[in-house]
Structure 1
Amino acid sequence: MKRMEPFYRILAIALFIHLPQTTAKRPNILIIVADDLGYGDVGCFGNSTIRTPNIDRLAREGVRLSHHIAPAALCTPSRAALMTGRYPARMGMVSNHVVRVNIFTSASSGLPSNEITIAELAKDHGYATGFVGKWHLGLHCLTRDFCHHPLKQGFDYFYGIPLTNLKDFGSEPNRAIDAKYPWVNQALAAGVITSSLFFFALWYLQVLSVRGFVIALICVSLPVYIFDWLFTNNKLINAILMRNYEVVEQPMVFTNLTQRLVNEGNAFMEQSVASERPFLLVMSWIQVHTVLYNSKKDFVGRSQHGEYGDNIEEMDWSVGEIINSLDHLGITNETFVYFTSDNGGHVEETGPGGSRHGGHNGVFRGGKGQGGSEGGIRVPTVARFPGRITPSSEVSSPTSFMDILPSLASLWGGQAPSDRLIDGRNMIPLLTGMNPNPIHDYLFHYCGNHIHAARYTDGSDVYKVHYFTYNWLPGSEGCAFMCDCSGSSVQSQNPPLLFNIATDPGERSPLDVTSSKHQRILSLIGAAVQEHRSSVEPVSSQYSISRLIPLPWLQPCCNFPKCMCRDTFWLSKE
């Protein structure tokens, strides 16, 4: 045997030399994000009536993350966390009031430019970076500087919508603000009438001159008129499609929109492969957020769940088109694929006729907008990396959107930024089975700027504490359109509610918090919450009223003053 030792030594050295060459190859990264897709909407997560063969394929060929958490229950803050690996509170992407997302394209709110995104890190390692679909992280600061635009956040190419998809954008005369606050028109009208009568009385009593009476009426009526005009014309001013910095379609037309997004994504991958550069591509679907649409007639009336089910099945088709392109390009084995949803299903969403237009969250309670409810933050997620991730495997310990940044950094041989707190953890060892230990001891669940809940992983048990719960409408698990984070929508829990969601995922049976064991767990979680709060440094809020209001000089317009155009590139191919 001694004579064989040199052989084994030479073999070991050869393997050692070869291994870095193999693992150092930078894989392609494909991130696919659905909008408002519920945990219970997907076949591989338990749905047997909506067909999602392509998402199911990813799960069959990869790993199902059955305990994956969005750091917020709404679009903008959760997407900010995905981009940066940090809690939205660290970036000022949390709100003290009812508005918790970007609502106008011409507002100055958005992802701060001093944040480091996955795209910026990828570019530093030679990646081509592209973003196709819904951005919803802002456009401009106070001038037309595109400070929040994807191309200023590390992406080389952008084709998509800077805001989001709203029910206002459909052919039906619906307004999102009326769904949330059905009384707003009556309240504004009552305010104008009451104020007018009051000023009329002052004029009649000769306290006001005629000129003063007219000025007072204008001061009261003009803001109301502007408010009503903005929301009545929401489709014109906010349904905008861009290619890089150029507005190419206004308002956005849904005809073949899904196909256009697919074609843009495929073209980006083809160009990257042709240039022999690894790529980071984010495919951010507009579906299944309302307004619901099918841009392919093959999917109209196909599902068992009306328009919502049709939209899921078309979205799944588009996933299939993208992953099939990996096969056609011969890069399947060189590409890490991550599919998720930005938050849970919107359980309160209905269509014009009262039909359900929102998602299903399986056994989890609550939904979109409820930052402490499992249904709002537990999202259907799968990952695939042939040769590294075992097919048909599952990770049942808690993982998070925020884990993507450090995980990608490890894949391309880099490091997460060291000059700021990164809340995510590298989950690649967990996904590949190299280290099955949980990567998070604690996760904190914000609703706006309030921590409504937190979870603690203790071996195979996962304990979740609720400091606040929601005042759902009777017989439902939702509020009027969407729950707020404070006020009449919530109630404080003292003592807090505690569940073991590893054994009680539906959170139906609160644990006895008077037991010594559970008091210890509450104490541990409480201390972790305080430590986390102390680590969140004060930053300027992106949701201050001054940043959320539309600024006329920031309004995108493709051909002033009409502000109407079609994407001529794809129009010629319809």
Structure 2
Amino acid sequence: MKNIFTSIFLLVLVLRPIICQATIDSLSNPAKATHYNLVLIVADDLGYGDLGFTGSTQIKTPHIDQLAADGVTFTQGYVSSAVCSPSRAGFITGINQVEFGHDNNLGGVEPGFDPEYNGLPLTQQTLADHLNKLGYVNGLIGKWHLGKEAKFHPLKRGFDEFWGYTGGGHDYFESLPDGKGYKEPLESNFKTPDPITYITDDVGNESVDFITRHKDKPFFLFAAFNAPHTPMQALEEDLALYQHIEDKKRRTYAAMVHRLDLNVGKIMKSLKDQGLKENTLVVFFSDNGGPTDSNASINAPYRGQKGILLEGGIHVPFVMNLPGLLPKNMVYQEQVTSLDIVPTFLALAGDKDTDRNMFSGVDLIPHLTGKTAPLANREMTWKFTISRAIREGDWKLVSIPDRMPMLYNLSDDPSEQNDLALKNLDKTAYLLKKLGVWDVNLPHPVFLEGAVWKKRQLGLYDHNYQVTQPKTK
């Protein structure tokens, strides 16, 4: 017995400094010890091929490239819609937005529709709503675009702090007290917004401020940049870096992406400086593909653009970074979707009560850490106004009103150059029926965008798209 007490005494002497140091570390940095922080960085209308890690030969994006190198890049990352508002409705709820009627882009109220429903339906809970129940502080910095009526406001949808604007875009240099559209005033519930310097910088600075103020609590930061969405406005110092690009719009676009990259770096530096990098999940993607006709973006190697369901409209740069849990420099080649964000974030936040069956996506962490098999041959469906699409394994079918359905095998033809519908009639009929059954079971849209957009979207399927990188460096 005496030997047992002697052994216990010696063990306590050995472990005491370790226990004390662990206690000190926990008290000095409780965030590192007790929870994961969550950061969602969303670019607006960014072209797939316009980042270094996705193959750009013109635009330098060292900070986003480093974020990718330090984490997981998804070669088959998708969003749930080809335009801003429905895409955001999907990834902020974790549910395919057409399943609750958020099919169209938000704009004015069309005749016959009730303005009381002109926003993200109140029947849906947002990621911020879920995280509120888990004690998270939730902040939205930047663009909302899910409803301008008071009841749709982000502060009514789970966010504790909001700095930004509720519309779909903003001027980069100016807001006016009584401004409308892109000149609408900035809002904030925790400070009086300073005059805009350059709004991409301002979103970055406010994101850093949010991290600094809430570093000792579990937090969710939604950094919703509007770059490189129109209007095409850049800083002179950034334009000078790309003066060799002859096309003025492309030069301005490159400068805007450069400034976005600097501010992603600013956010990552803040996490590192606060000792939060290891236990903070950072996700980066674009809300949809680049609108090549309006901002000179390039979606290479994919054909198509914002507004349509070819790969260029929905296949986006996608990165997930969590150094304390996920591997570095991992390239994940199976399909993932922005609809996976909510279930992934909730799992990391420790949620035990929410029924995961309500979500269209899945928790990605087990698939990335090898605890669960890869997400092979995943089925995905899309609908946006006139367009419908389904992907099953490598096969993708796109259906629009004025022609036969289009069928592509993406493993052999990622640029969707070769329509195989007539050569594979059984596959075409199978996917078309599956897509049609899904479509007719969807609810009616709760609001519509202007009818003029339907004709425009149809025409985009016939454009010639650049599917290779430009030769100009």
TM-score (norm 2): 0.79
Aligned: 1:467 with 2:403: no
- What one-letter code is carried by the residue in structure 2 that aligns with 1:257? I
- What one-letter code is carried by the residue in structure 2 that aligns with 1:269? I
Aligned: 1:263 with 2:202: no
Q: Distance in 2 between matches of 1:24 and 1:331?
A: 10
Please report how far the alpha carbon of residue 432 of structure 1 lies from its aligned counterpart in structure 2 after TM superposition.
Answer: 2.9
| Secondary structure of 1:29 counterpart | strand
Mark the CA change 1:237 to 1:465 in structure 2 (over 3 Å): closer, same or farther.
closer
Please report how far the alpha carbon of residue 344 of structure 1 lies from its aligned counterpart in structure 2 after TM superposition.
Answer: 0.4
The within-5 A match list for 1:269-308 is: 269-273=211-215, 276-294=216-234, 297-303=236-242, 304=245, 305-308=250-253
Q: Distance in 1 between matches of 2:314 and 2:179?
A: 28
Please report how far the alpha carbon of residue 424 of structure 1 lies from its aligned counterpart in structure 2 after TM superposition.
Answer: 1.3
| Secondary structure of 2:132 counterpart | helix
**Contact 2:108–2:449 (8 Å) recurs in 1:** no
**Contact 2:32–2:278 (8 Å) recurs in 1:** no
Please report how far the alpha carbon of residue 335 of structure 1 lies from its aligned counterpart in structure 2 after TM superposition.
Answer: 0.4
**Contact 1:165–1:286 (8 Å) recurs in 2:** yes
The percent identity for this pair of structures is 29
The within-5 A match list for 1:532-571 is: 532-533=438-439, 535-538=441-444, 541-543=446-448
Please report how far the alpha carbon of residue 90 of structure 1 lies from its aligned counterpart in structure 2 after TM superposition.
Answer: 2.0
The within-5 A match list for 1:18-167 is: 25-95=34-104, 100-103=105-108, 108=116, 109-140=118-149, 146-165=150-169
**Contact 1:132–1:283 (8 Å) recurs in 2:** yes
Query: Equivalent residue for 2:281?
Result: 336
Aligned: 1:313 with 2:258: yes
| Secondary structure of 2:151 counterpart | coil
**Contact 2:74–2:318 (8 Å) recurs in 1:** yes
4+ runs of 1 displaced by more than 6 Å? Answer: none
Query: Equivalent residue for 1:507?
Result: 416
**Contact 1:241–1:247 (8 Å) recurs in 2:** no
Please report how far the alpha carbon of residue 126 of structure 1 lies from its aligned counterpart in structure 2 after TM superposition.
Answer: 1.1
Give the alignment partner of residue 271 of structure 2, picking from 308, 311, 326.
326
Q: Distance in 1 between matches of 2:134 and 2:143?
A: 25
**Contact 2:51–2:59 (8 Å) recurs in 1:** yes
**Contact 2:36–2:348 (8 Å) recurs in 1:** yes
String of CA shifts for 1:483-531, please: whole Å, max 9, x gaps: xxxxxxx6221xx32211122101112336445xx61x33543343244
Q: Distance in 1 between matches of 2:324 and 2:434?
A: 37
Q: Which has the larger radius of gyration?
A: 1
CA root-mean-square deviation: 3.0
Mark the CA change 1:117 to 1:248 in structure 2 (over 3 Å): closer, same or farther.
same
Q: Distance in 2 between matches of 1:511 and 1:415?
A: 45
- What one-letter code is carried by the residue in structure 1 that aligns with 2:204? V
129-138 or 286-295: bigger deviation: 286-295
Please report how far the alpha carbon of residue 407 of structure 1 lies from its aligned counterpart in structure 2 after TM superposition.
Answer: 1.1
Aligned: 1:438 with 2:443: no
Mark the CA change 1:37 to 1:390 in structure 2 (over 3 Å): closer, same or farther.
same
Q: Distance in 1 between matches of 2:325 and 2:61?
A: 24
Q: Distance in 2 between matches of 1:524 and 1:61?
A: 41
- What one-letter code is carried by the residue in structure 2 that aligns with 1:301? A
Please report how far the alpha carbon of residue 237 of structure 1 lies from its aligned counterpart in structure 2 after TM superposition.
Answer: 7.8
Query: Equivalent residue for 1:525?
Result: 431
Mark the CA change 1:68 to 1:26 in structure 2 (over 3 Å): closer, same or farther.
same
Mark the CA change 1:86 to 1:326 in structure 2 (over 3 Å): closer, same or farther.
same
Mark the CA change 1:260 to 1:315 in structure 2 (over 3 Å): closer, same or farther.
same
**Contact 2:100–2:443 (8 Å) recurs in 1:** no
Please report how far the alpha carbon of residue 247 of structure 1 lies from its aligned counterpart in structure 2 after TM superposition.
Answer: 8.3
Q: Distance in 1 between matches of 2:124 and 2:377?
A: 23
Q: Distance in 2 between matches of 1:239 and 1:440?
A: 44
Please report how far the alpha carbon of residue 467 of structure 1 lies from its aligned counterpart in structure 2 after TM superposition.
Answer: 1.8
Please report how far the alpha carbon of residue 248 of structure 1 lies from its aligned counterpart in structure 2 after TM superposition.
Answer: 4.9
**Contact 1:442–1:525 (8 Å) recurs in 2:** no
Aligned: 1:365 with 2:303: yes
**Contact 1:395–1:430 (8 Å) recurs in 2:** no
Q: Distance in 2 between matches of 1:410 and 1:24?
A: 17
- What one-letter code is carried by the residue in structure 1 that aligns with 2:212? E
Please report how far the alpha carbon of residue 544 of structure 1 lies from its aligned counterpart in structure 2 after TM superposition.
Answer: 7.3
Aligned length: 408
Q: Distance in 1 between matches of 2:349 and 2:76?
A: 25
Mark the CA change 1:41 to 1:258 in structure 2 (over 3 Å): closer, same or farther.
same
Query: Equivalent residue for 1:492?
Result: 403
Please report how far the alpha carbon of residue 399 of structure 1 lies from its aligned counterpart in structure 2 after TM superposition.
Answer: 1.1
**Contact 1:102–1:110 (8 Å) recurs in 2:** no
301-310 or 402-411: bigger deviation: 301-310
Q: Distance in 1 between matches of 2:440 and 2:355?
A: 19
Q: Distance in 1 between matches of 2:187 and 2:78?
A: 30
TM-score (norm 1): 0.66
| Secondary structure of 2:403 counterpart | strand
- What one-letter code is carried by the residue in structure 2 that aligns with 1:153? R
Q: Distance in 1 between matches of 2:119 and 2:50?
A: 30
String of CA shifts for 1:403-441, please: whole Å, max 9, x gaps: 111111111222584397421122222233433421663
